[in-house]
Structure 1
Amino acid sequence: MKLKSRVLVVGGGAVGGLFAWRLSLSSTMSVSLVCRSNYQKVKTSGYLINSAQFGASTYRPHAVYRTVEEAAEQNGPFDYVIVALKALPNLYDSSERILPAVSPTTMILLFQNGIGIEEPFVKRYPHNALVSSVSFVSVKQEDSGVLKHGGFSMLAAGVHQSRGSVWESTEQLRHLFDAFESQGVSCTIEPDIQPYRWQKHVLNGSTNPVSVICGGSSCQEMVGNAYCRRLLEESMEEIFVLGKRVTGKAFPGVDGIMDPRSATEYIESIPVPVYTSMLVDSQCKRPMERDVILKNPIELADKYGVHVPHMKALYALVTMIEETYSK
């Protein structure tokens, strides 16, 4: 009997929990999870998932660990390590946190938001296959271990760094994505994933910080206000210009988003209120992903000579808001 591939998902929040669930239903994968704040709840009761796409379910992971060290000692080595941690380089290095679970043959997949997230992993793991993945999904953790998922899930990924030939690494990635697709997750493998990352950033880099500054508005409420809609569209325009300058390519147009206007129209069409992850973090007085969502793109803008005044203003404001947490 063929052995199952061993997968470790590091970060058991909304995105990590949802994709671990789908992957665990495949007959070819054995999935373990590293959880932090929700560890006790997930360990005891699993996840309670309400999904418009897949229906209601309780997911009890094969193995749940409090730390990566425990996972590696008790269930390693791993064929795949999926990084679903918040990208907070101003507080910690995600690449260092997974170190105990990475063997010479481990493929590392980044399921993180933001721009410029790959470089720390390239430096720390120069001989491992590294995959940059972009998730197009609406999912949130409403309570510890309680996930609410919308009607769509898609993964777009590309081999950022190969182990051996690019073909070999792509086949290893395809094996994992075949398992995802067998459980209803749409997947695409691209030779260059960065246009997809910038495509997602059109929404992430605008609605996230603006929602925090607005004090709690949903994305639909923001586009429903003429002044805020204009702010969003002008911020999105900066991202379109910068992303095309950095990648040298047009964006793929996922969800029909081809320009700022189509992006705000897409938000308008979503039938249920959408609240950004940065807003949820802000309301809970948790660190926000401000560096990968704003600071890193701003540094690229300075490098490429692109004018991004809205982005710089948003970064200054959310940084000040976050600094009030400790006061």
Structure 2
Amino acid sequence: MELKPRVLIVGGGAIGALFGWRLSQSDKVTVSIVCRSNYRQVKLHGYSMKSAQFGNQIYRPHRVFQSIEEAALDASYDYVIVALKALPNLYDSAERISMVVSPQTMIMVFQNGIGIEEPFVKRFPNNPLVSTVSFVSVKQEEHVKHGGFSMLAFGIHNKFIERDELIKANDKLEFISQVFIDQGVSSIIEADIQPYRWQKHILNGSTNPVSVICGGASCQEMVKNDYCRKLLEETMQEIFVLGKKVTGKAFPGTDGIVDPQSATQYIKSIPVPVYTSMLVDSQCKRPMERDVILKNPIMLADKHGVDVPHMKALYAMVTMIEEGYSK
């Protein structure tokens, strides 16, 4: 009997839980997950999922591991989904997953930010690498709470791999994409994923750092304040200009976001308060994804001659806030 493709999710937070849950509803794959701080809870009780789109359910992964080393002893994996925080200033996500990557593994990076792919290309030059952009509202508290929409945009990043291998990789990606579609997650495959990554970054690169500096405001509260909305829109404009310069393409306009004003109108339309991941990390005195959200884009701006004074100011401030945790 042919074995089902094995999926391993590395990172047991909200994103890993939500998309692991959707995949696990299919009888075409088996889904295991590596947890850290929540290992005992998930191992004993599973995840309590509360979703406006998919309903409520207790999700119990096929296997729950407390370390990469434990997962590596259990099986080889056809797909490794990286749902770790992107913190290159603290650790190398590519190195962290190395024990569970075989020559047959497709690596799917579900991380926020810009420039997140390069460590994986460097560490695994012969494995197909899928850069994945998730458009979703989900957070983990006592329950994993998800809104009414979920979309994934996939793109094979390392197209320089050998042609026959690229054909196999496309087939493999189409398979897992269809599994997501079958379980209610909108899914598209793009030849060039970077415009989608920059599209998401319009909100990520502005609301995340500004919410930290505002001391705990929701996204809706920020756009209601005239001064704060102006700061957000001017930061968004820098991201629009920089992203188009780097990619050479227009953004896809997901959620109708085609300029800073439509982005802030979109935020206003969200019915429940949205608190950014960087804000939550800051409040818990955890490291923030400041490098992939701000530093990497700033480095690209300097390379391409694009002026980004707001992003540079925000980076300086969130860096100082994080460095103040220990004081």
Structure 1 equivalent of residue 77 of structure 2: 78
Does residue 173 of structure 1 match 2:160? no
Instruction: Give the SS at the match of 1:100.
Output: helix
Structure 2 equivalent of residue 224 of structure 1: 224
TM-align CA RMSD: 0.8
Structure 2 equivalent of residue 118 of structure 1: 117
Amino acid at match of 2:149: F
Tell me how far 1:171 sits from its aligned partner.
1.0
Distance in 1 (alpha carbons) for counterparts of 2:158 and 2:70: 27
Instruction: Give the SS at the match of 1:267.
Output: helix
Alignment of 1:85-234 (within 5 A): 85-143=84-142, 146-162=143-159, 163-165=161-163, 166-234=166-234
Alignment of 1:279-318 (within 5 A): 279-318=279-318
Instruction: Give the SS at the match of 1:134.
Output: strand
Distance in 2 (alpha carbons) for counterparts of 1:161 and 1:23: 24
Distance in 2 (alpha carbons) for counterparts of 1:28 and 1:91: 36
Distance in 1 (alpha carbons) for counterparts of 2:149 and 2:132: 16
Instruction: Give the SS at the match of 1:325.
Output: coil
Tell me how far 1:104 sits from its aligned partner.
0.5
Tell me how far 1:164 sits from its aligned partner.
3.8
Instruction: Give the SS at the match of 1:161.
Output: coil
Tell me how far 1:3 sits from its aligned partner.
1.9
Instruction: Give the SS at the match of 2:273.
Output: coil
Amino acid at match of 2:277: S
Instruction: Give the SS at the match of 2:134.
Output: strand
Distance in 1 (alpha carbons) for counterparts of 2:214 and 2:171: 45
Distance in 2 (alpha carbons) for counterparts of 1:2 and 1:237: 51
Tell me how far 1:147 sits from its aligned partner.
0.2
Instruction: Give the SS at the match of 2:306.
Output: coil
Amino acid at match of 2:153: A
Structure 1 equivalent of residue 56 of structure 2: 56
Distance in 2 (alpha carbons) for counterparts of 1:178 and 1:292: 29
Amino acid at match of 2:147: G
Q: Percent of aligned positions with the same letter in both sequences?
A: 73
Distance in 2 (alpha carbons) for counterparts of 1:90 and 1:110: 18
TM-score normalised to the size of structure 2? 0.98
Tell me how far 1:167 sits from its aligned partner.
2.5
Instruction: Give the SS at the match of 2:141.
Output: strand
**Higher deviation after alignment, 167-176 or 82-91:** 167-176
Instruction: Give the SS at the match of 1:154.
Output: strand
Runs of 5+ consecutive residues of structure 2 not aligned to the other structure? none
Runs of 5+ consecutive residues of structure 1 not aligned to the other structure? none
TM superposition outliers: structure 1 runs of 4+ over 4 Å: none
Amino acid at match of 1:198: W
Amino acid at match of 2:131: S
Tell me how far 1:168 sits from its aligned partner.
2.0
Amino acid at match of 2:121: V
Tell me how far 1:256 sits from its aligned partner.
0.2
Structure 2 equivalent of residue 321 of structure 1: 321
Instruction: Give the SS at the match of 2:324.
Output: helix
Counting matched residue pairs gives 324
TM-score normalised to the size of structure 1? 0.98
Instruction: Give the SS at the match of 2:157.
Output: strand
Instruction: Give the SS at the match of 2:3.
Output: coil
Distance in 2 (alpha carbons) for counterparts of 1:164 and 1:16: 30
Structure 1 equivalent of residue 245 of structure 2: 245
Instruction: Give the SS at the match of 1:86.
Output: coil
Distance in 1 (alpha carbons) for counterparts of 2:249 and 2:317: 31
Tell me how far 1:2 sits from its aligned partner.
3.4
CA offsets per residue over residues 157-215 of structure 1, 9 Å max, x none?
A: 10012554333211110111111111000000000000000000000000000000000
Instruction: Give the SS at the match of 1:139.
Output: strand
Amino acid at match of 2:239: I
Instruction: Give the SS at the match of 1:44.
Output: helix
Structure 2 equivalent of residue 7 of structure 1: 7
Distance in 1 (alpha carbons) for counterparts of 2:229 and 2:184: 34
Distance in 2 (alpha carbons) for counterparts of 1:261 and 1:170: 37
